[in-house]
Structure 1
Amino acid sequence: MGGSAMSIMLDDSEDQDSHIQCYDNDFYVAIMDEDLGRIDSISKKHGSNFIIKSRGAVQVIQTGPSILPLHLAACYRRVKSIKSLLSAGADPELRDNYGRNALHLAIISWPCIQNALPKSSSRFQAVVNSMQLRSEACLRILCDHGVDVNAEVKSQRHETALHLAVHYAALPAIHILASYGVEINAVDSAGMTALHMASGTLCRDIITSLIRLQADVHAVVTSSGNTPLHVAVMAATTRSTRTLDADTSCISELVKQGAVVDAVNKAGRTALQEACSWANEEMVDLLLRHGADVNRLTAAGESCLYLFLDHTANVRNGSLLAKLLGLTAPLTFYNRDWRLPYALRQPQFSKQRHQLLSMTQQPRSLQDTCRNHIYLMDSGGKSEELRRILPKRVYDFVFSCWETKHITFMTEDANTFNTGNFFGNPLPRPQYIAST
């Protein structure tokens, strides 16, 4: 990787101690090979805070061809090299061109254990375990040396090391940082705590660990007012790949740890209202089981049913529509300004609008009232208990038989919907025939 001769260049416009550039691969090789004698020799001659600017094809994963010695050792988990460089006076607080110090780079380079193959060979698993142990050792050495565990990346996001640990799913790093006094509820420039970030990635292990480390489950994002529960529900609702069990377990964990299920954000919306707006029936059912109030109104006087019907794409979900029609009490389709939801204002939905509005003039049957009451008793996951108590016919009626009273938005011939998009702007689609 190059000869042993070194050429040193000084940048006259900057501090010479931190901008000596080594245009050779010798120091690079010494650090990567953990050649402590060579590291000590070069450090004594030139110090340990100069930039290694390698020649040829040498590239460092996280930084490119130029890097500080300590950053190189942190990126590649060279434990012995880190100890040697720190002993020689390397400054762990020095930043790279992206505003990151050695601590940040050690976390960014964390091995991605969660993507390891489930049936990997014992040899492969041993390699992965070794990488993680070395990453943990590097992090502890830097913390023992006094690096600021709460230092932010000097970038637009201002993430702390804890935010990075969550982003890179480095659970052991979270516990190590906590043991050295990291601020668990520190926020980035968007006002998000590490728990908000973990909720957005729907990682239950990290969510649970952060809460046990006193992360504030009630903290709100500065700009939106979203709690971790809001963030988790919207992440589960909007992401393209569904892993329902994992999503629901994260949300249930937040509620179990004290998240207020009916907390509102700056838009005046609860997590349930957000789930209804996106027509995610699984999330709606889950939040209802945890006691969310389906009849709570937003600041604009919008019900869950209103928010559902405010996006024409949602009308394809007849099951959720029927459930919201059945549970909403009193049944109304107007907001506080006496404005109908977007879908019901469309001329092609005039027949459905007439049918739905006529329902508000009809008294609800005793059977439906009892069914709704029993359904909403399912708070806290009592459905299995109710399954044992209730006759099967009654149980199926309560939890399975939701009907739209012969109201449908589907074409008779193509099984398609005139849906528009999620933001209320109609898309150019062919009109369909309304059917009863």
Structure 2
Amino acid sequence: MGNITKRGSRELEGDGAPSLVEGPRTELHTELYAAIMREDCTAIQVLLSSHPINQPVTILANSTSHRFLSTQTQSIMPIHLAAKYCKAQSLLCLLEHGADPEIRDSRGLTTLHLMLLHWPISSTMWTKLGNRTQRTLTNTQKDAVRCLLILCEHGAHVNARVDDSNKYSPLHLAVAHGTSPVLSILAQKGAQVNATNESSMTPLHMAAELLNQEMTEMLIACGANVNCAVSCTGSTALKLAVCTASSKAGRLLAAGVSCIHSLLTHGATVNAQDHEGQTAIHEACFGGREAIINLLLEYEANVNILTRNGESPIYMYLQHSSNLRDRVLLTKLLYCSYPLRLTNNQGALPAGIMLPEFHLLRETLIKLSQKLLSLEDICKRVISNIYGEKHKHHLKQLLPVKMWNSIYCHDSAYLLK
């Protein structure tokens, strides 16, 4: 490798690049960088006799002396370099020679944080790649796992927070960047699965809000509290997932429904209220997604529960004018809602039905809310709400056919006539 001349260094400085120590030290940095990248542990040991292990190496811009070198000037800790590019042998060599895994870069990131941020993509994410590329990605994944295990075995703090405004733990970082393979490893190595970030969110809250079913199920399997609430809002993972999914369509909506179903099957409390008294069914009705509403009803969501401001789920549904065009879902919710509460604590009607085009619907709903039901009709609705869709087939075995049909085979379209 050739030496960098003084003239070359001055030219780089003139272009705004950081000044570097010239001559032998620059060449030493370049050689150490290259040795780490090619995992030449013998060369690393020799070079460390001349370079402090916990001081950065700085590489000149536009260097062509090694194929791994960046085209821009950069300074990086040797251990960070090995972790970032998943060089397991180099990482182990550096740790055995005194590298500090907790040393942080200028952004407040430890070696573990950097590894998670640069975790290689999974080969399963790319179905059209050739076999050779698939093998390369698989091998890179294996190298990343090896590096993670090496770091954990050599004292990396699996609960160390990023020194920034978010205060993410390694588990938070893994969820935020979709690196699901590391969740179980970190948990097994002592990561606190219910730790909260600066926004009081656990990793499970983040995974649910991202509608990532795989990470959601992995975190629950690792001991995440499925009913833990965000302290500043009172929202649970279920409510966050419903809120996100309600704004999606197509495949994203299907993914959201799957994530919500996973939370429910693992014990999420369907009627948990946040600080405003809202539940998952309030969010679902506001979004108007039938698949989500039906799923929550199957798990016995209470359609008559009120927020602190006196808003019922049907009130939330009637807020959006787009929801009012789905008369089938609207009549289903109306049948479940008793007593029918159309106003909030201030006496205000939902915004959607206040639009001129829904004048007739508004008048019909007001009349319905004032109508007294017979004791028989009240009993039917109570039974329907208690047993819901989930247990209606079991109930069919217990009740006379005529009685069961009167509860579940009604024609609720008459409600809006």
TM-score range, shorter chain: 0.7 to 0.9
CA gap of 1:369–1:230, structure 2 versus 1, over 3 A, is same
2:61 corresponds to: 56
Secondary structure (helix, strand or coil) at the match of 1:86 reads helix
Give the superposition deviation at 1:244.
4.4
Q: 1:374 to 1:359 in 2, by over 3 A?
A: same
Aligned equivalents of 1:55, 1:401: Cα separation in 2 = 77
Per-residue CA deviation, residues 85-135 of structure 1 (Å, 9 max, x unaligned), is 112222111112221111011112222227622354443332222111111
Between the aligned partners of 1:123 and 1:39, the Cα distance in structure 2 is 30
Q: 2:354 aligned with 1:345, yes or no?
A: yes
Counterpart in the other structure of 1:100: 109
Name the counterpart of 1:126.
Answer: 135
Secondary structure of 1:100 counterpart: coil
Check conservation: 2:193, 2:223, Cα contact below 8 A. yes
1:37 equivalent in alignment to 2:46: no
Deviation at 1:336, TM superposition (A): 2.1
Counterpart of 2:156? Answer: 147
TM-score, normalised on structure 2?
0.83
1:116: which partner in 2? 125
Shift of 1:362: 3.1
- Aligned partners of 1:87 and 1:6: how far apart in 2? 32
1:314 aligned residue: 323
Tell me which protein shows more helix as a share of its residues: 2
Change (3 A) 1:225 1:361: closer
- 8 Å Cα contact 1:375-1:399 kept in structure 2: no
Residues 159 and 192 in structure 2, CA contact (< 8 A), matched pair in contact too = yes
- The Cα shift of 1:383 comes to 5.7
Q: Is the 8 A contact 1:22 1:50 kept in 2?
A: no
Q: CA deviation at 1:150?
A: 0.5
Pick one of 175, 178, 182 that aligns with 1:166. 175
Counterpart of 1:239 in structure 2 is 248
Matched to 1:27, the amino acid is L
CA RMSD of aligned residues (A): 3.3
Are the equivalent residues in 2 in contact too, given 1:309–1:344 (CA < 8 A)?
yes
Per-residue deviation, 1:209:
2.1
Give the gaps of 5 or more residues in structure 2. 10-24
Cα shift at 1:324: 1.6
Tell me, yes or no, if the aligned pair for 2:338 and 2:381 is still in contact at 8 Å. no
User: Contact between 2:364 and 2:416, CA under 8 Å: does it hold in 1?
Assistant: no
Whichever residue aligns with residue 50 of structure 2, its letter is: K
Cα deviation, residue 363, structure 1: 4.0
Distance across 1 between alignment mates of 2:396 and 2:133: 47
Question: How many corresponding residue pairs?
Answer: 394
Cα offset, 1:365, TM superposition: 6.9
In structure 1, the gaps of 5 or more residues are 10-20, 408-436
Q: State how far apart, in whole Å, the 2-side matches of 1:374 and 1:275 are.
A: 22
What are the within-5 Å matches in structure 2 for residues 276-425 of structure 1?
Answer: 276-364=285-373, 372=381, 375-376=384-385, 379=388, 381-382=390-391, 398=408, 402-403=412-413, 405-406=415-416
Question: What TM-score comes out, normalization by structure 1 length?
Answer: 0.80
Which whole-Å CA distance do the structure 1 matches of 2:48 and 2:101 have between them? 15
CA distance change for structure 1 residues 395 and 121 in 2, over 3 Å: closer, same or farther?
A: farther
Q: Does the C-alpha gap of structure 1 residues 57 and 391 become closer, same or farther in structure 2, counting only changes over 3 Å?
A: farther
Render the CA deviation track for 1:278-314: whole Å, top value 9, x for unaligned.
Answer: 1122111100100110111111111111111123343
2:230 is aligned to 221
Question: Aligned equivalents of 1:125 and 1:381: distance in 2?
Answer: 43
Which of 183, 204, 208 is residue 192 of structure 2 equivalent to? 183
User: Hey, which bits of structure 1, 4+ residues long, moved more than 6 A?
Assistant: 58-61, 365-368, 386-392, 394-397
Q: What SS does structure 2 have at the residue aligned with 1:89? A: coil
State percent identity of aligned pairs.
Answer: 34
Question: 1:267 maps to what in 2?
Answer: 276
Cα shift readout 1:368-415 (whole Å, capped 9, x = no counterpart)? 6676456535547346667999989x87994795527456xxxxxxxx
